[in-house]
Structure formats: structure tokens, C-alpha cells
Chains A and B, each alone.
Chain A
Amino acid sequence: MNGPFDFALALGDDALVAAQRLAEWTTRAPEMEEDIALANIALDQLGAARLLLSYAGELEGAGRDEDALAFLRDDREFRNCLLVELPNGDFAVTMAKLLFLAAYQLPLYTALAGCADERLAAIGAKARKESAYHLDHASLWVRRLGDGTEESRRRMQAAVDQVWPYVHELFAPDPAAPVDPATLRADFDATVAAVLDEATLSRPESGWAPAGGRDGVHTEHLSYLLAEMQVLHRAHPGANW
């Protein structure tokens, strides 16, 4: 990544793909209150995605708006991190993903709120409040599942183990970016360690650190996600909705 365009695009893609995954839970959540909460978080992510992608389109100056960027790029052109495109799995996997995403987005948006770029600063200021809520929600569920029943503890630990390798990509150094992701790692580690401790869960030891999302080299999952997301828009070129 370099420059505000790549940065805004990557963050916008993170939020958009996260929203798409979270919205898949609608009508499928373990309880009705959670249906509302997950839709709510998906809506926040989608809102942030729209602001970031609209701004990215303006920075690019090639006439692409939020919809052109969301619906008319292929997976090789998407810049989201791999973490957000992983399938939802069971509720524990979804909560592990959300915990890690929110623990990354909160310090990121907070730092962004103080950056020199006024538009990015305004987006950061708005989105960080939402991230704080997402982090709170995910932390609560990770504690409930980790310190709940035998079964939920087993599933929550498995989910953390499964998803953990994908967090390293989030903090790849990029000194030229408006906020260098490497500077967020300490904050992230402290937040996550505290939640996992309280949840009686352990942080996995693993040297595997898959990456490539920021360069458009994704998992096999993203292409399917985009096929579904883009199908109607692409079937009617140039139409208004």
C-alpha cells in the first residue's frame, strides 16, 4: 500500500467484505437479539465502507463511485485483508473474527481521526465509536463462550486457533500510509490478551502467517462472495437502482 487511495480502498474493502459476511447471519442468529446486533454491526461496517470507497473513488479521479468500486472489480482487484473474507463458520468463528477485526479497527480509526487528511480524519472519528461497540459486543461473546459450557469453550478455542494466523497480515508495516498499521500491533495485542484471559482461552502459538489480501491475492473464498454480491448489478450494466 502507498498513498491515501490505496489506503482508503483497503480499509473500505475490509469494511465491505466484513459487512457482507456479517449480513449472512441475518435470520440465522442463535437468538433474536443477536440477529439485531449482527445486522447492526453489518450496517455500521457497510456505512464505513461507503464513506471510504466514495472517498477512494474521488482520490482516484477516474469517475468510479462506491458502486463501481464495490460491484465492478474482480477479486484480484480487491484489497481487503484475508481475515474478513473467511467464511462465517459457527458462531464462535464469527465472534473470533469480529473480536480481531474490531481490536484492529478501533486503534486504526482512532489514529485516523487525528491524521492530516481531513476526510479520513472525519471518517475515523465517526467509525471509531462504532468499532468500540463492535469490540464490546465481540468481547462479551468471547467471554461468554470461552467461560460458558464445555462445548462452547471447545468451540471458542478452536475458533481462535483457526482465525489467529490471519491477524498478522493486518499489521504489515507501511510507513507511507496515513496510519502505519505496524504501530497498531501493541494496542491490538493488549486488548486481545485481556479478553482471551478473561475468557479462559489461550493464544495460539503458530508461525503460519498467511497474507496477500492487500496485493489482491486472496483465499479461494472471496471470488464466491463477490459472485453473489455482484450478480445483479453486473447483469444490468449502467442501470440505476
Chain B
Amino acid sequence: MYGNDFSADDAPGGGLLGEVEAAEAALREAAARGRRGGAPGPDEDLEAYFAEVIDADQKIEPRDWMPEAYRKTLIRQIAQHAHSEIIGMQPEGNWISRAPSLKRKAILLAKVQDEAGHGLYLYAAAETLGISRDELVELLLNGRQKYSSIFNYPTLTWADVGAIGWLVDGAAIVNQVPLCRCSYGPYARAMIRVCKEESFHQRQGYEILHTLAHGTPEQKAMAQDALDRWWYPSLAMFGPPDTDSTHSAQSMAWKIKRFSNDELRQRFVDMCVQQAEILGLTIPDPDLRWNESRQSYDFTQPDYDELMRVIKGNGPCNRQRMEHRRRAHDGGAWVREAAAAYAAKRVEKKEKVAA
């Protein structure tokens, strides 16, 4: 009744959800297997021990020794992920007040709430690496850490809410499912939880577009227009092409990343083509076609210059998104101060009673 109340039959994401469950099982197995002989001895080579854990597909946990660069890479990646969840609430939140039916309003509200929850969960995972959420939020607000480029695009119609669910959450899942097997335990476990809810969101978005595409001519046009605007920004979510990706090789060696940007982008395109057909919508790429020898679709690459412009802060909504976040943060300062003062008074009272 509060959302998610439609049949999941024939909706996308089924195979990916299976992969999430397999990753969860693998995680449990690895834990049961235990590490070779437990923790390293006092005079053991920590670097060698770290490499051995990674090689054996076991998990690095917060108390383990890890190379400083591994820690930093993870902080950057998990924080960016958390920031994306929080900033990502804005484009969809933009339509809560105008959702066209009460059922859709409930589903959207629940979804945006889930995203806040994912943000908190990911900040908690980042905190296991020895940095506080307050510090990370500060890094976001002063522009020293990024969030996903996709959230700098505006939601101009209701169909954009569907397109975000189907394409943006779809791309996020393709990206995140391999992270369910990432070498850092807290991140892998967070991804398993996040992916399960995310695949639900994707189905909801797909269902919105399906309803629109099979509705009135105006609704269908709205759905096609949304697909036209969100297709390339969604492809760009996988990052620059492998030839330009700076962090990839090291992240792959550490088993943080398991597939390259281009591999994941291809997987996403292959997944979307058939779904677009069922929707009855046209992917805005005249050169999209099946390649028999590669057993994959050939497609036109997104405009990576545009991606770089957006990442550098010059997309359509970068300024707006950051200002919105800052305004909420600054405007709420007196409330957080009040909560802290109240808590301090309570502690003082308790101490008096105890004494």
C-alpha cells in the first residue's frame, strides 16, 4: 500500500539481482573459510599478508593493516558514492509534490527516503576507514569531493523520474553489482544491501516509463523525450573510456574494481536495448546495432568532453545542487546546535543524579 505494490514479472534487473545474491553467498563462504591461519604474527610482513588476503578473494576488514593508498582510494570512492546518494535525492525530490497519482507519490517518497538511507549506510562504511561523516560532508560542501555527474541534469517532466529509475539506477546497479565482491568487507556488504533496494527502484522507474509509453500520445512523447535526454548522460556514468581512466589499473589489482569502465558500459547498453524495445521507445543512437562477431551492440560513445565539463562543475545544475545542499546544511545549524546543547544538559543532569 505504501509503494512497491506492482507485480515484478518481466521487469528488468532479475539477472543482476541473482548476481547480488551469489555475491552474498560468496561473502558468507569466505567468512566461514576463515583466513589462512588467522591474523598475521608479530614479525610477519604486513604487505605480504595484505596481498595474500586479496589473492585469496577474502575480505580486508577495518582493523587490518592496509596500504595508505588503498585506504585513500576507498575513502574517495565510498564518499563519492555516499555524496551521490544524498545529492541524488534532489532531482527526484523535485517531483514529489507534483507526482500525478497518490500511489506514485508514495513510491517516489519511499524511494527518495531509501536514498537517504543508502547515503547514511555508505558514510558509515567510509567511517570504518578512519574519517568522520562531518569531515566528508565538509569535503563535499567545499567542492573537494565529487558526486556522480548524472545528478547535475535537470528533471523537467514526470517521465524523467521514470528515466532516472530505469537508466540511472540501472547504470548504478551494473556498476555496483561487481562491488558486492569488492575486497573491502564493509563496502562489499554495503553494496549488497544497496543493490537489492536499487534494483527495486529500477523496476519502479521502468514501470513508470512503461505506463507512459502505453498511455496517451502526450505521455508517450514525454517518455521518449526523457529517454532522449537521459541516455547519453547515463552512459557517461561509467566514467571516461578505459584509455583515459586514471585509477582503474590499481583499483583492479586491489580488487576494488572488478571490471573496466568500458566493459560495464557495454554490459549496460546490451541490457537496455531489449528493455527499450519492450517499452516501445527508441534509444537515441542511429548507429546502435547488433554486432554478431562481438555478440554485443555497437553504439555511439557519449560526449566525454561534456562529461569532463560536468565533472568540473559546469553542468546544467551543478551550482543549484550544491547551493541547495549548503542551504539545507547552514539553515539547519541552529537545530543541530540545539540538539547538542539538549544532549549535553541531559548528561549533566544524569551526572548530578548519580553524584
Contact = CB atoms under 8 A, between A and B. Distances in A.
Contacts of A206: none
Nearest to A53: B102
B2 A43 contact: yes
The main secondary structure of chain A at its interface with chain B is: helix
B275 interface: no
Interface string A214-241: 0000000000000011011100101111
A62 interface: no
B109 A228 contact: no
A145 B100 contact: no
Interface stretch (B244-252, B254-262, B339-347): B339-347
Contacts of B96: 23, 26
A91 B335 contact: yes
A148 interface: yes
B104 A241 contact: yes
Contacts, number: 143
Given A32-B86, A144-B342, A47 B335 contact: no
Contact of A152 (B120, B211, B212, B334): B334
A79 to B, nearest CB: 17
Given A30-B332, A47-B2, A241 B211 contact: yes
B203 to A, nearest CB: 16
Contacts of A46: 2, 102, 105-106, 109
A161 interface: no
B117 A36 contact: yes
Residue of A27, A31, A66 ringed by the most chain B CB atoms within 10 A:
A27
Contact of B336 (A27, A30, A36, A47): A30
Interface string B219-235: 10000000000000000
Interface in B322-336: 324, 327-328, 331-336
A29 interface: yes
Contacts of B106: 43, 46-47, 50
B110 interface: yes
A145 B339 CA distance: 7
Contacts of A70: 102
A28 B109 CA distance: 14
A36 B102 contact: no
Contact of B89 (A26, A40, A232): A26
Binding site secondary structure of chain B: helix
B338 A148 contact: yes
A49 B102 contact: yes
B216 interface: yes
Given A236-B219, A241-B104, A40 B338 contact: no
Contact of A229 (B98, B327, B342): B98
A214 to B, nearest CB: 22
Interface string B9-51: 0000000000000000000000000000000000000000000
Nearest to A231: B98
Nearest to B157: A232
A40 B100 CA distance: 20
Contacts of B334: 149, 151-152, 155
Contacts of A228: 97-98
Interface of A: 16, 20, 23-24, 26-36, 39-40, 42-43, 46-47, 49-51, 53, 66-67, 70-71, 91, 143-145, 147-149, 151-152, 155, 228-229, 231-233, 236, 238-241
28 contacts: A23-B96, A26-B89, A31-B332, A32-B116, A32-B120, A34-B332, A43-B2, A43-B113, A46-B105, A49-B102, A50-B103, A53-B102, A66-B102, A67-B101, A67-B102, A70-B102, A71-B101, A91-B335, A143-B342, A149-B338, A151-B334, A152-B341, A232-B98, A236-B100, A238-B216, A239-B219, A241-B103, A241-B215
Given A46-B102, A47-B1, A53-B102, 9 more contacts: A16-B102, A27-B93, A30-B332, A30-B333, A34-B335, A149-B334, A239-B215, A239-B218, A240-B211
